[in-house]
């Protein structure tokens, strides 16, 4: 078995609903997604997959969808205000924990055709969560909705 891993750094904000700790408040992280791809054989160039292909596929999706966005549970009351303000965010059907975000990235990597075997999300420099599916056990992907936002124009000085 051959394995390659690509790290993708991004910034995001979130909070956890129905949680008693500090993470119930809006806050942000400088996160790192560690995407692992495995194959039994190498391609004609002697690679599992080119690192730049992982970056092009899932790195671009992370940059376009998660980077500098609020990741929120669909029932979060702050969503109404973000909509009023025209702010972009990502709405999830689950609490935006490190575990959920790792699973979300895994699901998108699979959808984009990468033979990904696991995704680890580093929320801080010493806290991380990994999603690796159990072979043969079907699971339901994390549902999400991206809201692009429509920020008001910045006033210019005359």
The sign of the dihedral angle between the CA atoms of 74, 70, 143, 138 is negative
Query: In the annotation, is 23 catalytic?
Result: yes
Query: In the annotation, is 91 catalytic?
Result: no
Residue 14 counted as an annotated binding residue: yes
Residue 9 counted as an annotated binding residue: no
Determine the Cα–Cα distance for residues 73 and 14; give it in Å rounded to an integer: 9
| Candidate list 73, 91, 118, 123, residue with the active-site label | 123
Q: List the structure tokens of 111.
A: 């959808």
Query: In the annotation, is 73 catalytic?
Result: no
| Candidate list 9, 11, 68, 111, residue with the active-site label | 68
- H helices within the chain, ranges in order? 51-54, 60-65, 78-85, 98-111
Determine the Cα–Cα distance for residues 158 and 145; give it in Å rounded to an integer: 39
- Which DSSP state fits 24? G
| Candidate list 7, 23, 87, 112, residue with the active-site label | 23
Annotated binding site for Zn(2+): 14, 27, 29
Return the active site residues: 23, 68, 123
């Amino acid at each position: 078995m051959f394995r390659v891993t690509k790290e993708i750094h991004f910034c995001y904000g979130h909070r956890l609903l129905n949680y008693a700790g500090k993470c119930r408040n809006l806050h942000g992280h400088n996160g790192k997604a560690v995407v692992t791809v495995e194959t039994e054989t190498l391609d004609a160039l002697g690679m599992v997959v080119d690192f730049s292909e992982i970056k092009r596929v899932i790195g671009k999706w992370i940059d376009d969808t998660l980077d500098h966005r609020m990741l929120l549970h669909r029932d979060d009351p702050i969503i109404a205000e973000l909509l009023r303000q025209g702010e972009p965010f990502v709405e999830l059907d689950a609490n935006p924990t490190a575990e959920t975000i790792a699973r979300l990235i895994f699901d998108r990597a699979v959808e984009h055709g990468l033979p990904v075997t696991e995704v680890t999300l580093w929320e801080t420099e010493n806290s991380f969560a990994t999603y690796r599916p159990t072979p043969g056990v079907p699971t339901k992907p994390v549902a999400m909705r991206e809201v692009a936002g429509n920020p008001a124009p910045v006033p210019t000085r005359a």
